[in-house]
Amino acid sequence: MNTSRSDAKLSAGILNFKSPHTFDDTVQRLLAALKDHNIKVFATIDQRAEAQAVGLSMPSTVLILFGNPKGGTPLMLANPEAGIDLPLKVLVSESQPGQVDVFMNSSEYIIQRHALPNELLANIAPVERLIAGALSA
């Protein structure tokens, strides 16, 4: 299965990539791709474990917060409220056994949402291709 940005479904500014890999493999592939491109992972939150800690159950779900201050800082300088969407995030969820989805805000959505200059799109858009590439079979 070839996964690309163009294969991702876009809904309300959120890209949805279908992963052909297991949940754990998808998370590891994303973390490795970020590391390989010198993109800092600020946090990895196991939302399923947090739900279980308070007696609730939910499917496997992990949120990864990542970014590169060199790319993100100019967005926040242009409009400080952009910091609400930075660092960037990717959510991996297995809502049904064997169905792994990867969600993230589209770069265009972030630029539009915060009325940022279009030239700043180049600071964050490449990560979409990176995510899609990490999911390729």
Is 3's pLDDT higher than 90? no
Angle at 34 between CA 30 and CA 35, to 5 degrees: 115
What's this model's pTM, rounded to 2 decimal places?
A: 0.90
36: domain CATH number? 3.30.310.70
State the pLDDT at residue 9.
Answer: 72
Is 5's pLDDT higher than 80? no
Q: Which domain, by its residues, includes 122?
A: 5-135
Question: Rounded mean pLDDT of the chain?
Answer: 93
Omega before 74 within 30 of 0, i.e. cis? no
For 7-64, what is each residue's pLDDT tens digit? Answer: 567 678 999 999 999 999 999 999 999 999 999 999 999 999 999 999 999 999 999 9
State the pLDDT at residue 2.
Answer: 42
- Tokens 């309300």 sit on residue: 12
**Number of domains within the chain:** 1
